[in-house]
Structure 1
Amino acid sequence: MTSTLPVETSNFRVEIDEQGIAHMVFQPAGGMPVTDAQGHAELAGVWTKLSAHPQVKVILVRSEGKAFCAGGELGMVEEMLASEAVRQRVMREARDIVRGMIDCSKPIVSAINGAAVGAGLAVALLADISVAARNAKLIDGHTKLGVAAGDHAVLIWPLLCGLAKAKYYLLLCETVSGEEAERIGLVSHVVDADQLQAEALNIAHRLAAGSQSALAGTKRSLNHWLHAAWPAFEASLTAEMMDFGQRDAREGVNAIKEKRTPMFGKASS
């Protein structure tokens, strides 16, 4: 690696190699990557830095943990339940993550191993090319938590896999395997787990060798489909943050902590 990007978080690091590939690596190694408050904030701002970095030609998002990224840690979620100010801050950051990835001029490749949840799933699926292990688990668990699916799914799932499949998986919180995700068009490519990192890196190398202006222009043009769907994203994000102030979200968090099925509509206030 030739250089590192000044990102101060224990959740991920960024290293730039000699070919101009920025490796965004979720960590810790061998552990369960999550996003805490600091990591979520850094994730919101990193795309602008990478887009402007003169050495970066392509971004490869991968994990050295036993999962891709399991989303927001429970402590951050509990802070959102308790504080309107925290909800507003997280809402701004969630918007910046999505817009940052869409507007980033550099192609983004994701290598999805294990579970991808919450902000981790957003990064995995908003990548321009997503490569998943066959045994990967894509989980949008918002409605099971008692909040609307608001951080990326309403924006991009209908474009990737169609409205019928998007409604099925998002309303029911059904887990999507890597193999099923490719079948329905939710990811670009699926490979065996032991081939994941090599295949994603190969794709990143091919992009790094391409015309940067041609790639940027193609990505920018294609992403007008996402800009056209932006009002739907804003509506879902607002609904999600409003729901974090309701008792169903408190019941959802309690159910996770107590390892039981939530009982929405019966939760005490």
Structure 2
Amino acid sequence: MPAPFPDYQRYETLNITRRGADGAVLDIQMRALNGKLPTAGHVGHRELCGVWRDVSDDDSVRCAVLRGEGAGFSGGGDLAMVQDMTEDFELRCRIWKEARDLVYNIVHCDKPIVSAIHGPAVGAGLVAGLLADISIAARGAKIVDGHTRLGVAAGDHAAIVWPLLCSMAKAKYYLLLCDPVSGEEAERIGLVSLAVDEAELLPRAYEVADRLAAGSQTAIRWTKHALNQWLRQAGPMFETSLALEFMGFGGPDAREGVASLREKRAPKF
């Protein structure tokens, strides 16, 4: 007997719908609750972490598309949550576990995931966007890993996937300096699979998802599983980077990083 469908309506920060006559492509849209960009607050961070278990367990789904609502793909962590992390050890431990599970849940999800990245792409949303099996960015997208600007080590997905995608030299340049990467440049250096004009972004993402959904599921899923052994092999590096990131949230640099963002000024580390 097939497993019952997950209740996707329970998600508060994700709009989840099915595409196609058979609903085999799941469309996951991160909601812009502030009216501008999707941000990962306490609820959003937990939901973005957990949804990939539902995708993996849902026998009716053959592919998932991840996209953002509003002006961009993702706006990073909600500053209130980040500040809470600098002050609350128990909360920091909880978010650390969610951040770890977010990466591993995507890596272990047996269904192919396609991301459609437009506008700014930062934080937890960017984690999912770059760990997607096929990442498609608008040429004008603005990809930023801003950890060191915030005063913490580049954890999340950075150590596990950036050097593999775009070389160690490029990874160090962008992760140490927090320089933005356009969608066009991201394709050139191999950080994303494709870059297209923004008007073509969703049609291209849906086209790719439909092709994946129509293909041999065992062949596609087993190919993904084999290729993701590269990421599983990098697990110790990822665990180290994440531990150092969350150690940093308890220090003075993270508090100064949050304050500088709130006050719209350069940090003084």
1:206-221 equivalences under 5 Å are 206-221=211-226
Out of 5, 8, 18, the position equivalent to 1:6 is: 8
Distance 1:179 1:254 in 2: 32
Out of 24, 42, 49, the position equivalent to 2:47 is: 42
Out of 116, 123, 128, the position equivalent to 1:118 is: 123
Mapped pair 1:142 → 2:147: yes
Distance 2:10 2:268 in 1: 39
User: Residue 35 of structure 1: SS of its match in structure 2?
Assistant: coil
- Does the 8 Å contact 1:14/1:24 carry over to 2? yes
Q: How far does residue 194 in structure 1 lie from its aligned partner after superposition?
A: 0.8
- Does the 8 Å contact 2:32/2:39 carry over to 1? no
Mapped pair 1:23 → 2:41: no
Identity %: 52
Q: How far does residue 10 in structure 1 lie from its aligned partner after superposition?
A: 3.6
Distance 2:61 2:8 in 1: 14
Q: Which residue of 1 aligns with 2:239?
A: 234
Pairwise CA RMSD:
1.3
Q: How far does residue 6 in structure 1 lie from its aligned partner after superposition?
A: 2.7
- Does the 8 Å contact 2:37/2:69 carry over to 1? no
Q: Which residue of 2 aligns with 1:166?
A: 171
Alignment gaps of 5+ in structure 2: none
Mapped pair 1:88 → 2:90: no
Q: How far does residue 27 in structure 1 lie from its aligned partner after superposition?
A: 1.4
Q: TM-score, with normalisation over the residues of structure 1?
A: 0.95
The amino acid that maps onto 2:131 is: L
- Does the 8 Å contact 1:24/1:62 carry over to 2? yes
Q: How far does residue 4 in structure 1 lie from its aligned partner after superposition?
A: 7.8
Instruction: Please list the CA deviations of residues 161-205 of structure 1 after superposition, one character each: whole Å capped at 9, or x if unmatched.
Output: 000000000000010000000000000000001110100010000
Instruction: Please list the CA deviations of residues 37-80 of structure 1 after superposition, one character each: whole Å capped at 9, or x if unmatched.
Output: 01111111111111010110001001221110111111110110
- Does the 8 Å contact 1:4/1:15 carry over to 2? no
- Does the 8 Å contact 2:6/2:54 carry over to 1? no
Alignment gaps of 5+ in structure 1: 265-269
Q: TM-score, with normalisation over the residues of structure 2?
A: 0.95
Q: Which residue of 2 aligns with 1:267?
A: none
- CA gap of 1:196–1:4, structure 2 versus 1, over 3 A, is farther
Mapped pair 1:261 → 2:263: no
1:70-109 equivalences under 5 Å are 70-109=75-114
